[in-house]
Amino acid sequence: MVASIEDVARKAGVSIATVSRALRGLPDVAATTRDRVLSAASELNYVASPFAARLASGRTATIGLVVPFVNKWFFGEVIDTVESALRKAGFDLLLYNLGDADGRARFFELMPVRKRVDALLVASLVLTDEEFDQLTALDRPVGLLGLPRPGFLSSRIDDDASSRLAVQHLVSLGHRRIGLIGGDADDPMRFTPPLHRRDGYRAALADAGIEWRPELEVLGYFTPEGGAAAAERMLALPDPPTAFFAESDEMAYGALRTFRRSGLRVPEDVAIIGFDDQPLSEFFDLSTVHQPVAEQALDITLRLLATITGSTEADGGDAVLETEVVVRGSTDASRSVI
Amino acid sequence: MVASIEDVARKAGVSIATVSRALRGLPDVAATTRDRVLSAASELNYVASPFAARLASGRTATIGLVVPFVNKWFFGEVIDTVESALRKAGFDLLLYNLGDADGRARFFELMPVRKRVDALLVASLVLTDEEFDQLTALDRPVGLLGLPRPGFLSSRIDDDASSRLAVQHLVSLGHRRIGLIGGDADDPMRFTPPLHRRDGYRAALADAGIEWRPELEVLGYFTPEGGAAAAERMLALPDPPTAFFAESDEMAYGALRTFRRSGLRVPEDVAIIGFDDQPLSEFFDLSTVHQPVAEQALDITLRLLATITGSTEADGGDAVLETEVVVRGSTDASRSVI
DNA sequence: CTGTTAGCGCTTTCAA
DNA sequence: TTGAAAGCGCTAACAG
């Protein structure tokens, strides 16, 4: 059968306490003793039972990651990054996918992470005060991806300022009628981008002295289909936009199809800039705002780990990472690679 | 502080054993007792410590999911489906992302799932005999997604037959020079599709009495960039293909861009069919092979759960789910929606 | 139907 | 530097 700590102790001729110490690399174990334990353990192909260790120590060596969706590019990147950082640190990842409003409600009602994680990482959710209270009640460090909150660690970009730059790019090209293909800021799954990216759009218009027109803000629901429909609707206006800002690349892909169907040349007849810089975007020659997704995820994960392990000056607070407008052929013909 | 089973027992005026039984819904608990326990538990906001329960019972209520990548559409769907099925069944999901050849080697060397899962689900990996041995040594039920193996549960599609149908579709349209944009069957991360999809392609050619030409099989590495380059290379041949079969939709997206750049009309000048039927494909009017990803993932997850819980006739063995050729505008102009 | 009790396999004092 | 022993918070016989 599978070996227990007692088997190792017997084989090494020491007590189980010593085995425990040696295997965890604690100090105050004689080098020779440690070697004896290590080789006994490896001969027996021993690994400690994580559950026994967790029960005894009170540490779970597990971090919960809460995402609203898993099969969107952004969250795929996040999961990928967090998983590998945790693995490297010897931590397990417990994934919670909210999926929809029901799943979200259930999560915050039951708090299934209770008693099973050392810390929690919440990605891109605009939380209500009640939800924040639930998180606080966990009495565990909580990291936030995408928005700051006093008392929580966070890592994010400045969606507002970044969107502003994107729209300013369009303005600098001479565009005055600029449509917004947005997310729903009031969606029950409320996640962070829609709110601030819309604000940035409006601010950029104001900066440029361009009148804000409500009919130039259409929901695209963060899907290509939605983006296509939104573009279609705005192109049908008597005075259609000459340029679009899409709050996500995926919506921009949809808009691009609409342009193609309408026989419009990009960027001559209509320009578009997205947000995210997904890999596919370079490919579709889409101008966009590059955001460092893996970097954000890694930053918050490492700081969360530092907080847990109480390592030197755990760097609390809010980190804001840089974004960059990436100009490609969808706004600037001279950059076109198609 | 956070309540333990003893607090609940005291409050309900029963023993901890009774609390345990009542909370887990075991039979042989008087209804009134159960109610008393339940309300005591909810008043104290009690949840059992999973680690204590796992240590005592030997069951981990956790399933490990091993994927080669997380940020590809297919695996996103898989993770999504498995997570929600497990959550519903009260199980935790422990995610292992291999990432690259090193990660794969490390996983199979250390077997970090040992002592922490009741069962393992391995997605889309072509495993070596040694790797299978490692899995067997776990002495836990193992489910395979994408390939069968005696002694393991599996759920999959028939990649070979499905690819054959895809290529037959091209043949039925009159194409005789058909290029294959494939994955690398010898890639160190070897995952299942490349092997069998190529076989299907070759079989379809043979069926149709079309001579197999090695220069019409080019690697696209399962990326859009790769697909674009592969298409480019074949179009440069003296006698270029009039149609392509891409082993994944993503590679087909790349090829479509190559066609557009080359000024070729689709499907008049060149036709293409992909594989997977990702959501974006309907959108790009790409003919493809639809495969039921969520269904496969759900099927294997439920059967694995049934095996663990020893529920009635756990349905072992290999399940092969249906695929379907979806004809869109990239092969048949009459279906075009663009 | 309920309570008592002996673990589950570790970690962590405390002494030596 | 090491060992003995007391838990960690549950589950699972077993007895009643």
Q: Which nucleotides of D are covered by protein (CB under 7 A)?
A: 1-5, 7-13
Residue B90: closest C-alpha in chain A: A112
Decide: A280 and A259 in contact? Cβ < 8 Å. Answer: no
**What CATH number should be reported for the domain holding residue B241?**
3.40.50.2300
Any A CB within 8 A of B92 CB: yes
Distance between the alpha carbon (CA) of B117 and the C1' atom of D8, Å: 21
pLDDT at B182 over 90: yes
Same domain, B86 and B117: yes
Quick one: pLDDT at residue B151?
87
Give the tens place of pLDDT for each residue, A156-215.
999 999 999 999 999 999 999 999 999 887 777 778 777 899 999 999 999 999 999 999
A314: confidence class by pLDDT, cuts 50, 70, 90: low
d(CA A33, CA A18): 8
Residues B204 and B330 placed together within one structural domain of the fold: yes
Domain that holds residue B281: 159-291+325-335
Q: How far is A133 from chain B (nearest CA, A)?
A: 15
pLDDT digits (tens, 9 = 90+) for A58-94: 999 999 999 999 999 999 999 999 999 999 999 999 9
Best residue of B42, B98, B115 to probe chain A, by most A CBs closer than 10 Å = B115
Q: Which of A60, A73, A338 sits opposite B261 (nearest CB)?
A: A338
Distance A50 CA to D14 C1' (A): 29
Phi/psi region, residue B35 (left: phi>0; alpha: psi -120 to 50; beta: rest), is: alpha
Assess whether pLDDT exceeds 80 at residue A291. yes
Euclidean distance between CA atoms B247 and B293, whole angstroms: 15
B88 touching A, CB under 8 A?
no
Q: Find the mean pLDDT for residues B108-118.
A: 95
Kindly tell me if the per-residue pLDDT of A329 is higher than 80: yes
Q: What is the pLDDT of residues B285-330, one digit of tens each?
A: 999 999 999 999 999 999 999 999 877 666 679 999 999 999 999 9
The answer to whether strand D lies under 7 Å from the CB of residue B50 is no
Q: How far is A335 from chain B (nearest CA, A)?
A: 15
State residue B313's pLDDT score.
60
Are B193 and B330 within one domain?
A: yes
CA of A63 to C1' of C15 (A): 37
**Nearest CB neighbour to A97, from listed B50, B73, B84:** B84
Closest CA to A246 of A332, A167, A145, A157: A167
Angle between helix axes A129-137 and A101-110 (nearest 10 degrees) is 40
Secondary element (H or E) of residue B42: helix B31-43
Q: How many angstroms is C1' of C16 away from CA of A15?
A: 14
Mean confidence (pLDDT) of chain B: 93
Tell whether A177 and A304 lie within a shared domain. no
Mean pLDDT calculated for residue range A280-291: 92
Average pLDDT, chain A: 93
Give mean pLDDT, residues B197-226.
96
- What mean pLDDT comes out for the span B18-31? 92
pLDDT score of B282: 87
- State residue B337's pLDDT score: 67
Test A71 with B70 for CB contact under 8 angstroms.
Answer: no
Closest by CA to A92, choosing from B151, B314, B116, B169, is B116
Q: What angle do CA B126, B61, A40 make, to 5 degrees?
A: 70
Q: How many domains does chain B have?
A: 3
Mark whether B152 and B300 lie in a shared domain. yes
Query: Among residues of chain B, what percentage have pLDDT more than 70?
Result: 98
A43 and A79 part of one domain: no
A147 and A181 co-located in one domain: no
User: What average pLDDT does range A6-19 have in this prediction?
Assistant: 95
Q: At a CB cut-off of 8 Å and minimum separation 6, what does B31 contact?
A: none
The reported pLDDT for the residue numbered A23 is 96
Nearest-angstrom CA–CA distance, B210 and B203: 10
Structure tokens belonging to residue B105:
């080697």
SS3 category, B82: helix
Q: How big is the CA angle at B155 (ends B153 and B157), to the nearest 5 degrees?
A: 145
CATH of the domain at A40: 1.10.260.40
Q: In the block, which residue shows the tokens 């399940």? A: B319
- In this structure, the answer to whether residues A282 and A150 fall within a common structural domain is no
Residue B14, pLDDT above cutoff 70: yes
Q: Which residue is nearest to nucleotide D9 (CA to C1')?
A: B52
| Alpha-carbon gap: A207 to the closest alpha carbon of chain B (Å) | 36
Q: What angle do CA A132, A135, A136 make, to 5 degrees?
A: 85
pLDDT for A185: 73
3-state SS assignment for residue A26 = coil
3-state secondary structure (DSSP) of residue B63: strand
pLDDT at B8: 95
Do B163 and B282 lie in one domain? The reply is yes
Task: Specify whether B250 is located in the same domain as B315.
Answer: no
Residue B243 has pLDDT above 70, yes or no: yes
Burial grade of B174 (CB within 10 A; 0-12, 13-18, 19 or more):
exposed
Q: Which of A115, A249, A264 to mutate to test the interface with B (most CBs of B within 10 A)?
A: A115
> CA B211, CA B74: separation in Å to the nearest integer?
33
Among B57, B80, B96, residue at a domain's last position: B57
Yes or no: say if B117 and B64 are a contact pair by the CB < 8 Å rule: yes
State the average pLDDT over residues A40-59.
95
CB B51, CB B22: distance < 8 Å: no
Taking the C-alpha atoms of A78, A81, A82 and A84 in order, what is their torsion angle to the nearest 10 degrees?
A: 150
Helix (H), strand (E) at residue A273: strand A271-273
Q: How far is CA B103 from CA A25, A104, B100, in A?
A: 24, 32, 5
| B29 bridge partner residues | none
Q: What per-residue confidence (pLDDT) applies to A312?
A: 62
Residue range B39-90, pLDDT digits in tens: 999 999 999 999 999 999 999 999 999 999 999 999 999 999 999 999 999 9
Q: Which of residues 181-240 of B touch A (CB under 8 A)?
A: 224-225, 228
- B184-209 per-position pLDDT tens digit: 877 877 787 778 999 999 999 999 99
Running DSSP on this structure, what letter comes out for residue A263?
Answer: T
* B14 and B75 together in one domain: no
Nearest CB to A47: which of B49, B76, B115?
Answer: B115
Q: Tell me: pLDDT of B95 over 70.
A: yes
CB A200, CB A166: distance < 8 Å: yes
How many residues does this entry show for chain A?
338
Nearest CA in chain B to A49: B115
Cβ distance B86 to B63 under 8 Å?
yes
Within 7 Å: CB of A33 and strand D? yes
Token representation of residue B50: 């999973």
The reply to whether A168 and A283 lie within a common domain is yes
Where is average pLDDT lowest: A145-154, A310-319, B232-241, B322-331?
A310-319
Residue A119 phi/psi, 5° resolution?
-160, 165
Q: How far is A71 from chain B (nearest CA, A)?
A: 5
**Chain A 240-299, residues with CB within 8 Å of chain B CB atoms:** 253-254, 257, 260-261, 279-280, 283-284
Q: Which residue has the tokens 């294959």?
A: B180
